[in-house]
Structure 1
Amino acid sequence: GALSAETAYDGLMEAGYIVRWLPGQGLPQGLRVTVGAREDMDAIADALAAMAQKAAKAHAR
């Protein structure tokens, strides 16, 4: 996809979420996110969707 794990990691960290990027574990496109409440999960999903949409638009140019 157009949204890399590194870009998602950077965006989520900037938004204040604690995220682990996993290239050292052999998962260069892997992220680990620990979420407590449903509202937090919804907010992270919304943030990822917005980043993916932005990346797709940039990739389409």
Structure 2
Amino acid sequence: MKFYILARRFTIITLFAAVFAVTFSAVVVHNGGGGTQSHFGANYTCLERSGTFCAPTVR
């Protein structure tokens, strides 16, 4: 009986985590793109929002 309770709790926690992950990724995709991005300390400026390439900024 204990295993059924633990399995049910684990399922509920996993479903909440999945809903949070999907919601968070949707927010990131919606607000992301364009502007200045940082990747391991290097600054990149995306000139085109629809493009997949960002040019490094020269300092």
Question: Please, what TM-score do these two structures have when normalized by structure 2?
Answer: 0.42
More helix by share: 1
Question: Please, what TM-score do these two structures have when normalized by structure 1?
Answer: 0.41
Higher relative CO (CA 8 A, sep ≥ 6), structure 1 or 2? 1
Q: Max radius of gyration: which structure? A: 2
More strand by share: 2
